[in-house]
Structure 1
């Protein structure tokens, strides 16, 4: 059965399970409007998740057929996965920031074998050992989970109010976790009169006890190398996801919402304090990486030496790929700040502190 929490003021949340994931579930928010309920995120595309979502809506006194719209904080499958099924059942519109819609579009268009080849080449460039890359090279072409996400039919425009009759929900662009991640500021008096400015649906941008993954913005058509490429900009300018995230954090902190309603874990007050903790965490991590880069290291070697929530030899295969991407995003930040540089002539490329 779905766990339903009433946050008052016409806002409830449903805990929708994520299969085989330590996060456990995604908090899908149900926001009442004058045209019917609107969902903020939908959960993973899985039969149990779908049943939980529909049962939860029934417990809220509505049904999936009554959904008026779906607002997606970002394109990841534990947030966007069930959007297509909701739209099929209800005729609801789906809204997403254009930068993440672009990711959805190229995910749908690139065949599975192209993704395998891209990931193998990316890991090789990062210095991954051949035994780690070999399964990707040998993988048969097949459909992968999350490679056919629903295309949104509305853009979320940063700074503008969404078209939710009877509500004031403003989009705040917060890139970093994904290029088009948005937080949603409910500009209405808190139902418990907590001090601050409304409530913030924070997606994965601001979580009470987790630091969200900051990796590189993936594009299988980008052949220019992990740290010398731009996945989202045709101008050729190198992207800086960690820099984007840190800037976005400060912007959210200045909003000073009375309460944060995240997509995982639990609601919490004092967004500014949590922002300060995360800024301190990333500065400490960058400083620690500079110490590791006293000797030249590939991104893979750096990831092996970084501090994670478990020893490297106990990190699962897929999570190692994510860890290397996170290491690369931090390397990219250090290079952009002039605190690290590539070692000329190294192959695979290594980096060293300046």
Structure 2
């Protein structure tokens, strides 16, 4: 592994590089966009946030790798979040590259593009009200919906992928052995990409894993709800995430190349740490449910990276989504249940 001076670029060997593409006004700092050489041309794993400065860093980083954005053959998207998918349309326009994404996340992208924004505002308001959010938190959503302040700017719509990213199959990348591994949880269609080739530094294990946001060395990804207003299915994203973690741990990758922080080895050890972390967190939340609480009341008492009073409104909405994901796991495990007749619905430990 070699750092390229002044370029935010790391040469991981074997035709793999990472480029630290900045995320504006975000404590994560940057997304690690990976470049993979193939016999048909270079391929990107994710693209970074749609921002002029981020684009300039991506282009300069590719140049430091000896590549040009116009030469890109394809883009493999680990998931649809804007710090991964944001620059995809611009890369495609500059190069003609195809964009590949798991169908479950492609569905989210299509839904985002097609549904009227006022419907989303109303749906979010209804979900938050059902979760026990106070009227003051919901009111701005309803006001924006009712006043028609829901513009849809085509330039900011997420790009539609050109092709699916089928899990379990070797991808059509001449000269490389790269297999998509479906790892739902952080998003419904999150994928990791397993490079089934000997590690260039001969580290013990089975190749390298582009892990997106699924497996990170020092933080845990947000696990929330991605539901369709037209679909009444009760999902279990935290259960999906924990199952996916175990699946990734069994791969035994020699090295993990995540989308944030830094590359690391000993993936099975990190998987065990994360499984233990979530088990402890579920136990702590069950203790909070010694008395009935709504998802909002639970979120208020959960441990975040700052006090609840300091969390802005948009982030509180995300926090409540994470609380609901944990509640669903507790209910499915038989450790909590809804209180009959409660409105909004409260939950209690059993």
- The equivalent residue for 1:25 is 30
- Written as runs of structure 1 = structure 2, the 5 A alignment for 1:67-216 is 67-139=72-144, 140-143=149-152, 148-216=157-225
Assess if the C-alpha contact under 8 Å between 1:14 and 1:56 holds in 2. Answer: yes
* Structure 1 gaps, min length 5: 223-228, 231-237
Residues 144 and 299 of structure 1: CA distance in aligned 2, closer, same or farther (over 3 Å): farther
CA-atom RMSD in angstroms: 1.4
For residue 39 of structure 1, give the secondary structure of its aligned residue in structure 2: strand
1:246 pairs with 2:251: no
Runs of 4+ in 1 over 6 A off after TM superposition: 144-147
For residue 302 of structure 1, give the secondary structure of its aligned residue in structure 2: helix
Cα deviation for residue 2 of structure 1 reads 4.2
TM-score for both structures, normalised by structure 2: 0.95
Residues 216 and 144 of structure 1: CA distance in aligned 2, closer, same or farther (over 3 Å): farther
- The equivalent residue for 2:3 is none
- The equivalent residue for 1:57 is 62
Deviations 1:59-79 (A, max 9, x none): 211111000000000011110
Of 327, 337, 342, which residue of structure 2 is paired with 1:346? 342
Of 3, 8, 16, which residue of structure 1 is paired with 2:8? 3
Residues 122 and 137 of structure 1: CA distance in aligned 2, closer, same or farther (over 3 Å): same
* Structure 2 gaps, min length 5: 1-5
- The equivalent residue for 1:266 is 262
Cα deviation for residue 221 of structure 1 reads 3.6
Q: CA separation in 2, counterparts of 1:67 and 1:56?
A: 13
Q: CA separation in 2, counterparts of 1:99 and 1:289?
A: 29
- The equivalent residue for 2:300 is 304
Q: CA separation in 2, counterparts of 1:6 and 1:144?
A: 38
Q: CA separation in 1, counterparts of 2:60 and 2:123?
A: 39
Of 27, 34, 40, which residue of structure 1 is paired with 2:39? 34
Q: How many residues align?
A: 341
